[in-house]
Each structure stands twice: as structure tokens, then as C-alpha cells.
Structure 1
Amino acid sequence: MRTHVIDHPLVAHKLTTLRDERTDSPTFRRLTDELVTLLAYEATREVRIDRVRVATPVTETEGVRLSHPRPLVVPILRAGLGMLDGMTRLLPTAEVGFLGMIRDEETLTASTYATRMPDDISGRQVYVLDPMLATGGTLVAAIRELISRGADDVTALCLLAAPEGVTVMERELAGTPVRVVTASLDEGLNESGYIVPGLGDAGDRMYGTAG
């Protein structure tokens, strides 16, 4: 597994505002959208392409187009939904699947409650959207589900990651074609399993605490 932390002033600037407890939900959603597009630019560096010939108004030249089958983007519900527009803005022709997962707050283990994606995704590059890589349990479970359906190249986009979660993923997904792209590798987890300094609960910051 590979982990790539984006070192860019615009990424750091937007992330700083996301961390600020005074940032309201509309601003949080907008900045998440902008930040994900920046992360997606790096995450898609190895997207598969085909060489093609194209006619310009002046002459013919060689260019590239995304290969078939198209990439699959999979947000993990619910907070991953807030990252979807920023990702599909860069990959508008990608297909979108959904994976609903919930973490038990006592055991910190993740379980799946909903899936909406093809049974067979063999040969597909998959981009998983999950704002927080904390304990690693949710992403490990999600990526195992994708690999069981045939995915052979998985990239996870996370706003933040904790060293503990990265270690778990490296151990549990050793030898699998997985990459993590994140805006920051933070200090660690607190006793409740939250990333420190972090930005709080990403879902609550995006959508509020109704329900």
C-alpha cells in the first residue's frame, strides 16, 4: 500500500479553514468540494488512458482519452457524499457506486448496511471517498468488498489520515493494489477514536446532527 500526502499551499489553506470549529456547514461543504478536486488531481495521476488521433482546426495530432471500462467512484455514506461532486467534476464520465458503512462507537468495527454497485467490477480502477482515515476499519472493509468484486486498482481519497489507520491498512491490505491520497497525516487518535487535531465528525460538520 502507498500513502501520498499532498503538500501544497492551497490544500493546507483550505484544510485549515475546515479544521476551524467556527466554520459553518455551508462553508464546510464548499471547501470540502474544492479540496477534493485538488486531491483528485493527484489521485488520478495514474488513471488509465488510450492513445487516440484527433483532428484540430489546423492538423491531426495524438492525444489521450480515458480507457474503458471507465473508472468507478464509490463514496462511503454518509460523509463521503460530500466529496462526490469534487471528484466527478474532474472525472465527469466516471460511473458512481455507493457503499453504506457504519462504525460501532464502542468496538470501532465497521459493518456494511447498503451497497449499490455492479457485482463484477473486474479490471476497474476504483476511487473510494471517505473524509477520515481514523482507525482504518471502515476503509479496510470497503476495499475488501471492492476487491471481492474484482477491482484491481483502488485509490482512497481522505481529507485526513491518522498514523494508526495507515498502519492498520498496511497490515490488513498488504500485497493489494491500494493507494491513499490525503491532505494531511495528523498526530494520532484520541481515546474515542477521533483524529487529533482533526476536524471533528466530518458528517456532522457537513450536514448537521439531525436524526
Structure 2
Amino acid sequence: MLEAVQMLLPEPVPVHHLGLFREPTTLQPVEYYNNLPYHRPTSVDPDPFPIPEIAILLDPVIATGGTASAAIQTLLEWGVKKVVLISVLGSEAGVKRAAEENGSEGIEVWVGGLDVEVNDKGMIKPGLGDVGDRLFLTIGK
């Protein structure tokens, strides 16, 4: 099995982390971590970290679409040509915003399920609860 995967991916695939969260009162995205390589070319190494043609972005829930859109914008500014956003659940308006706010060309959004709306706190209705609380066991804080 490993040999089959190695045949499909002949060279290592870079994995980078771009961390954003939604500030709860303003519902605006906040970037807390970014390890995308921003190294400048030199005469010795003209392309030390080539920018990939495609980036796969994972976001468990797209509620308002703000953090997904901000992450897409960061990747496009970095130079990625195509962004594939994969999510478990999204609101209709949030998925539309994520897909269209930075120009729809070069952006694909794959969502496992859609709910119709979000409430005034930016949570999907009926949704599945706060994913951050579920991931980091902070329910009840």
C-alpha cells in the first residue's frame, strides 16, 4: 500500500499550518499562526520554497464564511493558483461567501452538509455546536 501511495506522490508534499479563529463578539477572523514560507529568492537559490499550484484548506464548519474567506485570501496572496476548501458542515450564506468573496475562479468548496442560516452569534442553526469546544474539550467554559 505504501508503495502505491509513493507512486502517486513521487516527492514529499509540503504541509503548512494557517490558523485562524473567529473573534466571538465581532465575528471577525483573527490569524494566530501562519507558517507559510515567505523566503525571498537569492542568486544561489532562485526558488528556495516553490509555491504550490494547489492548496487544500480544511475548515470543520463554515458558518459566516469569514475565517474561510480570510484563509483563502492569504493563500491567494501567497501565490497559490487553486484552493480547495473542504468542510463538514456549512451555512448557505457562509459557503457562498467563502466561494465568491475572493473571486470564484480557482476556488472549489466541498461541504458534507448545508444548513440554511446562522444565528446572531454566528452559529449555524441547527448546526452541531461549537467545533472548537468539541475539539479542545472546553465545553462549559
Question: TM-score range with shorter-chain normalisation?
Answer: 0.7 to 0.9
1:121/1:188 CA distance change after superposition, 3 Å: farther
- Counterpart residue number, 2:42: none
Q: Which residue of 1 aligns with 2:124?
A: 195
Question: What is the CA distance between 1:101 and its match in structure 2?
Answer: 1.2
Residue in 1 that maps onto 2:94: 165
In the aligned structure 1, how far is the partner of 2:126 from the partner of 2:137? 20
CA distance, structure 2, for counterparts of residue 143 and residue 121 of structure 1: 18
TM-score (norm 1): 0.53
Letter matched to residue 145 of structure 1? T
Of 41, 66, 75, the residue aligned with 1:146 is: 75
Determine whether 1:156 maps to 2:75. Answer: no
Contact 2:87 2:111 in 1 (8 A): yes
Equivalences for residues 85-124 of structure 1 within 5 A: 93-119=12-38, 122-124=51-53
> 1:181 matched to which residue of 2?
110
Q: CA deviation at 1:138?
A: 0.2
Structure-2 change in CA distance of 1:193 and 1:94 (3 Å): same
Do 2:99 and 2:107's aligned partners in 1 also have CA atoms closer than 8 Å? no
1:108 shift after superposition = 0.8
Question: TM-score, normalised to structure 2's length?
Answer: 0.77
More helix by share: 1
In structure 2, the residue corresponding to 1:96 is in which secondary structure? coil
The reply to whether residue 65 of structure 1 matches residue 8 of structure 2 is: yes
Residue ranges of structure 1 left out of the alignment (5+ in a row):
1-63, 69-92
Q: Could you say which structure has the greater relative contact order, defined with CA pairs below 8 angstroms and 6 or more residues apart?
A: 1
Residues 14-41 of structure 1 show CA distances to partners (whole Å, capped at 9, x for unaligned) of xxxxxxxxxxxxxxxxxxxxxxxxxxxx
Question: CA separation in 2, counterparts of 1:67 and 1:180?
Answer: 27
Q: Counterpart of 2:137?
A: 208
Note if contact 1:121-1:149 (Cα within 8 Å) is conserved in structure 2: no
CA shift, 1:190, in A, is: 1.2
